Structure 1
Amino acid sequence: MKHFDVIAIGAGPFNLGFAALAEPLPNLRVAVFEAKDKFVWHPGMMLPGTHLQVPFMADLVTLADPTNRYSFLNYLKTQNRIYPFYIREDFYALRQEYSNYLAWAAEGLDSVRFNHQVLAVSHAEGRYQLSVLTDTGITEFTADKLVLGTGTKPFIPPIVAGSATGRLIHTSDYVFNRDELLATPRERPHVTTVIGSGQSAAEVFLDLLRSLPEDDHLVWATRSERFFPLEYTKLTLEMTSPEYIDHFHALPQSERDRLSSQQKGLYKGINADLINEIHEELYQRSIEQTVNVHLRTGCVAQSIDCSPNGLDVTLLHERTNEQLRFASDHLVMATGYRAEIPSFLEGIKDRVNFLADGRYDVDRNYSIGAFQDIFVQNAELHTHGFTAPDLGMGAYRNSVLLNRITSTTAYQVEERVAFQQFGAASLDCLPTSTSSNV
């Protein structure tokens, strides 16, 4: 039975970063298990020209160790692309190129093992015991500690009738269904609807706007009051910092949840350039033709049912309480992702800390283990705030994890990076107020 100090489950960007930063550490035996047979990263949204919303320095390792061989710049150098990237003068890597970089790192890391699906986990004799389905059958492994990076799953709202799913797709599958959406000729103009207001919704909307036949109708509806941009000013960016995580984590859970509901524009908004690009496309079309495009804000989807003509969609405008009913041939749901507790944890639930509502109770340093030996990646939005899914904070979190796991300072961890302070920090350095009688 093969034993490791740490087994990380799931080979997404965060656990790849964990493996890359763990590789040079002596005497640390790490394995990363991934159920798929190869690395994939959002393949259904690999639209031409789309790019990251964070600078390339938010790679697997740079913000923890700029000298690590798995940096994005080193990848470019090995591919003879570093000079073209330099000449391009754009900090935001193309999404396809970043995906290629992640696949390159996964291939180079000996600790990453594909076709390793974790079926069950138990604990005995001071070790975690994992039953893993591999190419050769079920194999047993043991580990002292676990890092869960199982990611999130595409979310389809429960208002969607089961029979409607044939004409309905999630944005995570958009590229795979794009040809069908755009198929011509048509006996009549089609109606295609996009629901949602984040970056993925905007990218799909613009692609459809540029690609659908001119007489087709395109609907874009969102519950949000506007198609809001991603907040990306410098003092707001300082909230992606250790200090803000300290502040957020120290708040009562009810206050964390209230703040999270208000902060979607900090990580779920649309790139401002993309919003402008969409408007320019609409404007140019409006010069010589009627634009069959219908943008609706403040509208929540009430029901989506199957009909002979496609899908019957009912939207409710939440401010006016009016209903909008129409038929749509196709529907693209940009309704985001939800975290799920993996079923393989069932055997060790008594070793996992949960909140009263069933969510993980994640401590400040990313442990959910009652014995400080189980850690999570990007499952702590409700306890650490919007930094959880941020690629730029991945190297920081992995530095914290590796320092904690090894009980050493394997990596320097910044404690203060922001000019501002969060919370009621003392102002003792200022003069005390005085009053005088005139």
Structure 2
Amino acid sequence: MVGIGFGPSNLSLAVAIEEHNTRSPEKPVRAVFFERQKEFGWHRNMLLPATTMQIPFLKDIATFRNPLSPYSFVAYLHAVGRLVGFVNNQTFFPTRLEFHQYLEWAAAHFTDRVSYGAEAVGLYAAAPDHLEVEVREDAVRRRFRARNVVLSTGLVPRMPADVTCDERVWHSSRFLTEFDRLDRAGVRSVAVVGAGQSAAEITRYLHDELPSAHVYAVVPSYGYALADDTPFANQVFDPAAVDDYYFASDQSRQAFWDYHRNTNYSVVDDDVLRDLYRRGYDEDVRGDRRLHFLNLTRVSEVKRSGDDTRVLLMTGARPELEVDLCVFATGYAAMEPTGLLGDLDRYCPRDEAGHHRVERDYRLITGSEVPGAIYLQGGTEHTHGLSSSLLSNVAVRSGEITDSVVARHRTERRPVSSVIRSR
């Protein structure tokens, strides 16, 4: 197997394969992974102080599949000597920084199977039953053979049309890196665009870190909306809900989205939402308002001239803002495999909405012209539901992919990855 990308999803897959090989050494799965980042990292630019995970620690990369896994979050806490301290903290929700440290700890066990700074740039057919993955590492391109390829290239930052990032206009995916470079002395006014958790957290962070600046939250709804994390609503992220969604009618699938989008999209956790409202109210009481909420407002254009940034607005009470910095926390687009598939994409049928068709085991449906199997870790919300791009179901999904690979290839054993051409 070749895994393209090595974020939490393919890290969880590496764990699932490791545990399978320990249980069944007579039927091993050999796997290598390629990651374009120079080192392991997961949303590093949103590791803001005191921000917590939105899922319980038990939804780590292993526990829901194997509660005895040596790669669980509890195993990590024990390994680093913080298990007792975490329990005394009496929370199900670790800080984002601590969870990132856990993922780094787990990833460190697989350095012999991961090439960092290596970007997959193409996928090709190789007769009779193998695929070729072309990988670019520095200026060198190599091709690797595999019976199975697992795509997990992550989400793509989404910006409004005709808005370009530069040194004063950022997407949230680059936030901390850009903020650390910023000369804060001259910053008097900033805008944060978006209605979700990241937008709210960045707004709060800028309000703290720039105590002399006006902070404008540009929100398309009438203020931030509360995330529904109640027990019944959270069942949409259960492993069993994947079957409910996958085998449902189109009408039932639409009902999933209509009723439960507020569990994840354009919503904010209760504590962050209330904290921001309280800050604005306290400033009103003092008569010194610098945290501003521009509700029912969207950005139509951003004009840059030197250090000046003009944000043109649609609806709302103001036609434009003049700011020193504008951050777009406008979310991400789903993983789209078309670019990597290249010419193979024409042998991958799509549904009426233009989405790739995917089997229940996350295997891309392909024509006979495509040898081997291509699995998707991401980009399957249209077939597998809300949890497809989230951590909630990552442990179970990785186990299902591993089981599928083992079930489909039991007869012939040969090295799964071998260099066949360098150029």
Using structure 2 for the length normalisation, give the TM-score: 0.86
Residue 248 of structure 1 contacts residue 385 of structure 1 at CA under 8 Å; is this kept in 2?
yes
Q: CA deviation at 1:108?
A: 0.3
Structure-2 separation of matches of 1:357 and 1:230: 28
Distance 2:154 2:401 in 1: 17
Per-residue deviation, 1:48:
1.2
Gaps of 5+ in 2: 409-423
The corresponding residue for 2:405 is: 405
- Give the counterpart of 2:3 among 3, 8, 29: 8
Distance change >3 Å, CA 242–CA 82, structure 1 → 2: closer
SS in structure 2 opposite 1:65? coil
Query: Does the 8 Å CA contact 2:299/2:312 hold for their aligned counterparts?
Result: yes
TM-superposed CA distance for 1:201, in Å, is 0.5
Provide closer, same or farther for how the CA distance between residues 48 and 378 of structure 1 changes in structure 2, counting only shifts above 3 A: same
- Report what 2:157 is aligned to: 154
1:73 aligned counterpart, secondary structure: helix
SS at match of 1:103: helix
**Identity among equivalent pairs (%):** 26
TM-score by length of 1: 0.83
| Contact 1:182–1:211 (CA under 8 A) maintained in structure 2 | no
1:202-251 CA deviation, whole Å, 9 max, x = no partner?
Answer: 1100011122233x321101212330111100011111134433333345
2-structure distance, mates of 1:115, 1:180: 23
The equivalent of 1:436 in structure 2 is: none
Q: Which secondary structure does the structure 2 equivalent of 1:246 belong to? A: helix
Provide closer, same or farther for how the CA distance between residues 183 and 309 of structure 1 changes in structure 2, counting only shifts above 3 A. closer
**Structure 2 counterpart SS, 1:375:** strand
SS at match of 1:96: helix
Distance in structure 1 (CA, Å) of the matches to 2:97 and 2:307: 36
Paired position in structure 2 for 1:195: 193
1:289-438 counterparts in 2 under 5 A?
289-307=287-305, 310-317=308-315, 324-339=319-334, 340-341=336-337, 343-370=339-366, 373-407=373-407
Any idea what SS the aligned residue of 1:232 has?
A: coil
Q: Are the structure 2 counterparts of residues 111 and 308 from structure 1 closer, same or farther at C-alpha, using a change threshold of 3 Å?
A: closer
What is the CA deviation profile of residues 51-103 of structure 1, one whole-angstrom value per residue up to 9, with x for unaligned ones? 11001111110000011111111111111111111111111111111111111
| Partner SS, residue 209 of structure 1 | helix
**Cα 1:206/1:393, change in 2 over 3 Å:** same
Asked if 2 retains the 8 angstrom alpha-carbon contact of 1:257 and 1:382, the reply is no
Counterpart-to-counterpart distance in 2, 1:378 and 1:338? 11
Q: Give CA deviations for 1:282-302 in whole Å, capped at 9, x if unaligned.
A: 334444341122202222222
> Who is 1:54 aligned against?
55
Match of 2:29 in 1: 28
* Residue pair 2:45, 2:172 contacting (<8 A) in 1 also: yes
**Match in the other structure for 2:261:** 264
Structure 1 Cα separation of the partners of residues 107 and 338 of structure 2: 23
Letter in 2 for 1:63: F
Amino acid at match of 2:39: K
Measure the CA separation in 1 of the matches of 2:253 and 2:222: 23
Question: Does the CA-based 8 Å contact 1:222-1:296 persist in structure 2?
Answer: yes
Contact 1:153 1:338 in 2 (8 A): yes
Secondary structure (helix, strand or coil) at the match of 1:392 reads: coil
State the one-letter code of the partner of 1:144. Answer: R
Higher helix share: 2
Aligned mates of 1:75, 1:195 — CA distance in 2: 36
Query: Which position in structure 2 is the counterpart of 1:221?
Result: 218
Unaligned runs of 5+ residues in structure 1 are 1-5, 409-438
Structure 2 equivalent of residue 183 of structure 1: 184
Alpha-carbon contact 1:218-1:293 (below 8 Å) kept: yes
Secondary structure, counterpart of 1:239 in structure 2: helix
Counterpart of 2:49 in structure 1: which amino acid? P
Q: What amino acid is the match of 2:70?
A: R
Query: Aligned partners of 1:233, 1:122: CA distance in 2, in Å?
Result: 45
> Which residue does the alignment assign to 1:235?
232
Aligned equivalents of 1:335, 1:398: Cα separation in 2: 28
- How large is the RMSD of aligned CA atoms in angstroms? 2.5
Structure 1 residue 140 displacement after superposition: 2.6
Does residue 279 (structure 1) correspond to residue 277 (structure 2)? The answer is: yes
- 1:413 aligns with none
Counterparts of 1:258 and 1:67 in 2: how far apart (Å)?
Answer: 36
Q: Relative to 1, partners in 2 of residues 1:7 and 1:209: Cα closer, same or farther, differing over 3 Å?
A: same
Q: Deviations for 1:340-383, whole angstroms, at most 9, x for unmatched residues?
A: 33533104224433335543222332121316821111211222
Separation in structure 2 between the aligned mates of residue 42 and residue 256 of structure 1, nearest angstrom: 29
- Residue by residue, what CA displacement relative to the aligned partner does 1:91-124 show, whole Å, maximum 9, x if unpaired? 1111111111111111102433323322222112
Could you tell me how far apart the structure 2 residues matched to 1:405 and 1:167 are? 47
Q: Distance in 1 between matches of 2:168 and 2:389?
A: 30
Other-structure match for 2:42 = 41
Distance 1:254 1:114 in 2: 43
- State the aligned residue count: 394
Q: CA shift at 1:49, angstroms? A: 1.0
2:124 corresponding residue in structure 1: 122
Name the CA shift for 1:58/1:182 in 2 (closer, same or farther; >3 Å): farther
Separation in 1, partners of 2:307, 2:113:
51
**Alpha-carbon distance, 1:145 to partner:** 1.0
